[in-house]
Amino acid sequence: MTTQPGVAVRVTAVRILDAVLHRGRSLRAELGDALPALDDPRDRALVETLCFTVLRQSGRYAAALSAWMPKPPGRRDGLLRTLLYVGFAQLDPLRLPAHAAVAATVEAARSLGRAHQAGLVNALLRRAQREGLPAGDTAGDWPGWLRDRIRADWPGQADAVFAASMEEPPLWLRVNRRQGTREDYLARLHAAGIEAEPAPHAADALRLPGSMPVAVLPGFDSGAVSVQDLSAQCVADLIAPAPGMRVLDACAAPGGKTAHLLEREPALRMTALDVDARRLGRIRDTLQRLQLDDGVRLLAADGTDTAAWWDGEPFDTILLDAPCSATGIIRRQPDVRLHRRESDIQALVALQARLLDALWTTLAPGGALVYATCSILKDENQRQIEAFLARTPDAVAEPLPAHLGHADGPGRQRLPGEGDGDGFYYARLVRARLTA
């Protein structure tokens, strides 16, 4: 491979994106395999930025190629298409110095064995530099079935959902109140030259305008702060943890919400359950960094199989952050749009219903179950909870505060980008004490 500066970064990004776009690979898995080979943290950051930008903007870039080429490259010439996408991303929206971006991408074509296409790459990138990229259709690269579902569920907000899913999200931090106040940590950020502002309806949340390595955040290694989106942080308010309360986090990995509840109230009797034993290790790591690992019960088990893990003592509160389509976090996981299939939704809805029914039997009378997803589909949210209420006579939905989003049947729905948060659904269900 050439030693020209920046070429290795472009080659790495192209290989990752080619695997994600054309071979069905997970972005997270590909980044996890490739980034350790890059020694410079600035190179790793640029690879990540290029990959996320291309996946958010891929529909727009495809439209540009269709407009400029009589026969744009398809899946059979995926490397060329990906090279061009990486070049476009550098010019718009990243606005890297054009001469260096074009030169490094053309050289990357040669390093990838595409020397015969280097002239074509150079010509198209020069055109993009000269004319700018067409605006494109923000919904153009969504699968038709998903685009139709979102338009049917949110006819007045669908275009805003598609547009928000193309944008880079802000960086949300959660301040560990066991190590200091939000105001104290805000002052530490400002002293370090990092711009931030508090959220109005999330007591521990600070918003930074863009991403940055966590290593530069003061006190991150010692647990002063964590990265967690605004919408996820709002769940703790619905739990309202109190001393001695027995709490179950039923789909707990990677452990952010478990940790937040313990930061709010250290005297909880907390059980963190997850079906994936490997992901349970991430919860353990999270709690150790935050110095919260004392007394937390970690269980690797299927939440629907209560006979396998429940000890018979009812929980006062249960958090079910259910497995879902992740359609509310596409700006953070843009490959979801590529890999999600319509058949997945039916399977997820069935799993969510089984979890609700099983976990409800472990809830104490008078206790509450908080249901949450990072989906924006009504089948997983409004209609799921309405169906649960219809078949569960001792379940009552409580009204939720308006700042959580749109009133949506028994719960509230925040759509992507609203309040600068992820798309998220919330419902709080109380188990009534039935009388004879």
Distance CA 52, CA 22 (A): 16
Cβ within 8 Å of residue 365, ≥6 positions away: 314, 394, 431, 432, 433, 434
C-alpha distance from residue 391 to each of 109, 250, 351, 364 (Å): 59, 21, 16, 18
Residue 292: give its domain's CATH number: 3.40.50.150
Q: Do residues 285 and 414 share a domain?
A: yes
Q: Give me 305's structure tokens.
A: 């199989």
Do the domain assignments include residue 136? no
Give the domain extent around 177. 171-227
Could you give the residue numbers annotated as active site? 374
Q: Do residues 425 and 390 share a domain?
A: yes
Distance CA 317, CA 43 (A): 45
* Known binding positions: 251-257, 274, 302, 321
C-alpha dihedral sign at 23, 28, 32, 37: positive
Do the domain assignments include residue 239? yes
User: What are residue 371's phi and psi, to 5 degrees?
Assistant: -105, 130
Instruction: Determine the pLDDT at residue 3.
Output: 61
Q: Do residues 203 and 276 share a domain?
A: no
Instruction: Determine the pLDDT at residue 76.
Output: 81
Q: Which of 206, 227, 248 is the last residue of a domain?
A: 227
Q: Do residues 273 and 293 share a domain?
A: yes
Instruction: Determine the pLDDT at residue 1.
Output: 52
Instruction: Determine the pLDDT at residue 250.
Output: 97
Distance CA 3, CA 363 (A): 62
Q: Do residues 75 and 119 share a domain?
A: yes
Q: DSSP string of 11-30? A: HHHHHHHHHHHHH---HHHH
Q: Do residues 274 and 396 share a domain?
A: yes
C-alpha distance from residue 199 to each of 172, 231, 233, 234, 403 (Å): 9, 11, 11, 11, 11
Do the domain assignments include residue 52? yes
Do the domain assignments include residue 165? no
Q: Do residues 198 and 241 share a domain?
A: no
* Number of folded domains that form the chain: 3
CB atoms within 10 A of CB 78: 17
Instruction: Determine the pLDDT at residue 36.
Output: 93
Q: Which of 212, 227, 242 is the last residue of a domain?
A: 227
Do the domain assignments include residue 22? yes
Instruction: Determine the pLDDT at residue 2.
Output: 55
* Known binding positions for S-adenosyl-L-methionine: 251-257, 274, 302, 321
Mean pLDDT by 10 residues, the chain (436 residues): 78 97 94 93 93 94 93 88 97 93 96 95 96 85 95 97 94 96 97 96 94 92 96 96 97 96 96 94 92 90 97 98 97 94 97 98 98 98 98 98 97 97 98 75
Distance CA 8, CA 5 (A): 8
